[in-house]
Structure 1
């Protein structure tokens, strides 16, 4: 574990909103999501927890459901073939910039599902008509609608029909109906979302990523955004002095300019969901999460190596966790990759209690070594 690596990881955890790098706390869910540009929400419920951890004041799961239902944050496919939370103000320009790349990444899936251009356009038109006028439809209802018009739409095939309609800026997330997600007409959900010229959009996405994820590398951004290296190079060129770079062991890291923030009080324990931006926002420099090789060593003997969540102590992965409901309480099962001392154990308990506040339930932790 090198001092330079630790310096980068301390700066990074502040950038991602978990260590106090920003001059003031985020005001609401839209500000959290807007800080990143897009925040991965492959799993809706854990993704809300990722938002809540960056807000101050005991925000709850129900609070974020209300924000989602009100359209404060939206959920759609952008950047990569997966769901992201996006702030309404960013939705149009992000899709205009990245949808062609995501369509290209989806090419094999479209062919596998025999989803050619005419069929996808017809499906998208039918879906648009169905959800217009605030007639939000569930996935099941859209499948039935398409079947009524002779279009086979189930499972994998339905998923890519819907992704196509999202990428074409026709639909996006509507409010929840009970526990079911719905789709809405994008024009009705975000009628005033801004658009940007391509050059301005490139600059904004490049700047947004390195500000919210930095220090990070061009390869990290290429994976996260699906942008080409040429586009990223252009974005960096246009960004000018809004970003700065540093070279460590022959690798160039980009971030917002300025002094590194003071580290958060140590030990600080965080129960992160598996798709938190601190975990999935990187490809080349993901090693900064595990500078001592602790997680890699533990996973070799851990038959449950794929976690529901990741335990981070200060900046480093130190275990995995999952939660279950039992007798009116939330039980956090923590599997540690090394023994915790008394201060770390107390911080783990505090993190568990924070999760309990979010879920509106008493929370207890059960810890064991891998």
Structure 2
């Protein structure tokens, strides 16, 4: 059955950007709880934990950073390397089936680096046994257990497995890719909230996992990506998920009757019927201003970011194209600048860095309100 098409009248890049804001839960009140947002987004970039906390916070009004940490502590959300070899937040029941889709290709991509580091399949199995034995020895009276990365590295070294020159992190990543270990509760540091997590046995931390075969799983992943990121292209999905484009196109054919096609320029974009319905009465958010974190899915989650970020401003967000995304200001669906945190722990503040000129009075007031919300969220 052919996919329904949205009416293309009055579509502009800014309208496309606002549709993405709506899909991602960044307009109209967001979602009610931390696990709901993470499950809706399917996978949220979380290499930088502080940025990931605020990315969730922007989508859960009234929440605090401690709520996201509590969700990690309880296992209602998890943080792992499901796609692109990068840390993401996702629902625990989704991790195993996504890994089954993405891990083989990732492990092939790092095979050369593993040869350079002298990592063999036997080394990975050996480290699995060491890690599980170490975790068993650290088990507490109430059944909880976990080890820091440093504790596991010490155990690897003691057993003759070198961890220097990134060998240790590749070994640890391989154990997570194979669903033997997963990052669990936050690791405190001398009574303070830390930024690291303890590693725990996968099957003990995640007791219920969905079971999808590859074809079914790719179709599910594509549908959920479009639902939460649309309008987006099949190439955006293939980049985001690292699923080969041939398989992505096959998956699209199987789910397109549940999506809406939106022609724009010479490209077909896809979005959910619910998001497409916003076109009927005018897409909201034309005056919305958001202070989003670096690495937010609104910008990072697409191969082609030119719809919302003018190419001439791209290096102002990712200086030197070094892969490190600065915090962004989004106005009316378009990235119009970056922003920074200022001061110290006792007197924090925020400052806008617009691409051109200065923010107008109304936009400046909106930005300062966003900044206060950010500071309150991070302190909570």
**TM-score, with length taken from structure 2:** 0.86
How far apart are the structure 1 equivalents of 2:318 and 2:226?
Answer: 32
**CA 1:265–1:16 in 2, change beyond 3 Å: closer, same or farther?**
closer
How far apart are the structure 1 equivalents of 2:296 and 2:160?
Answer: 40
1:37-76 residue pairs with structure 2 within 5 A? 37-56=42-61, 58-76=62-80
The answer to whether the 8 Å contact 2:135/2:145 transfers is: yes
1:86 pairs with 2:106: no
1:323 alignment partner, one of 337, 341, 347: 341
**CA 1:138–1:98 in 2, change beyond 3 Å: closer, same or farther?**
same
The answer to whether the 8 Å contact 2:73/2:184 transfers is: yes
Gaps of 5+ in 1: 362-370
Gaps of 5+ in 2: 1-9, 189-193
The answer to whether the 8 Å contact 2:54/2:378 transfers is: no
1:251 alignment partner, one of 263, 267, 290: 267
CA shift at 1:296, angstroms? Answer: 4.4
1:153 pairs with 2:163: yes
Matched residue, 1:17:
25
How far apart are the structure 1 equivalents of 2:258 and 2:113?
Answer: 38
1:195-210 residue pairs with structure 2 within 5 A? 195-210=211-226
**CA 1:297–1:278 in 2, change beyond 3 Å: closer, same or farther?**
closer
CA shift at 1:306, angstroms? Answer: 6.0
Which stretch has the larger CA shift, 296-305 or 91-100? 296-305
Which stretch has the larger CA shift, 214-223 or 102-111? 102-111
How far apart are the structure 1 equivalents of 2:148 and 2:342?
Answer: 27
Which stretch has the larger CA shift, 169-178 or 331-340? 331-340
User: Is the partner of 1:131 in helix, strand or coil?
Assistant: helix
How far apart are the structure 2 equivalents of 1:244 and 1:352?
Answer: 36
How many residue pairs get matched?
A: 354
Structure having greater relative contact order (Cα 8 Å, sep ≥ 6): 2
How far apart are the structure 1 equivalents of 2:322 and 2:199?
Answer: 35
CA shift at 1:206, angstroms? Answer: 0.6
Alpha-carbon displacement from aligned partner over 1:285-321 (angstroms, at most 9, x marks no partner): x101125x56248679999996531111121111112
1:194 pairs with 2:210: yes
User: Is the partner of 2:208 in helix, strand or coil?
Assistant: coil
1:108 pairs with 2:108: no
Matched residue, 1:269:
289
**CA 1:191–1:4 in 2, change beyond 3 Å: closer, same or farther?**
same
The answer to whether the 8 Å contact 1:267/1:343 transfers is: no
How far apart are the structure 2 equivalents of 1:209 and 1:34?
Answer: 11
Matched residue, 2:6:
none
How far apart are the structure 1 equivalents of 2:353 and 2:291?
Answer: 12
User: Is the partner of 2:340 in helix, strand or coil?
Assistant: strand
CA shift at 1:126, angstroms? Answer: 1.8
Alpha-carbon displacement from aligned partner over 1:19-74 (angstroms, at most 9, x marks no partner): 23xxx742211111111211110111210110010002x21111211111111111
1:345 pairs with 2:364: yes
**TM-score, with length taken from structure 1:** 0.89
Which stretch has the larger CA shift, 47-56 or 105-114? 105-114
2:375 alignment partner, one of 356, 361, 366: 356
How far apart are the structure 2 equivalents of 1:190 and 1:83?
Answer: 17
1:296-315 residue pairs with structure 2 within 5 A? 296=314, 308-315=326-333
1:36 pairs with 2:41: yes
Matched residue, 2:3:
none
Alpha-carbon displacement from aligned partner over 1:61-97 (angstroms, at most 9, x marks no partner): 1121111111111111111111011111211111112
How far apart are the structure 2 equivalents of 1:283 and 1:302?
Answer: 18
The answer to whether the 8 Å contact 2:184/2:205 transfers is: yes
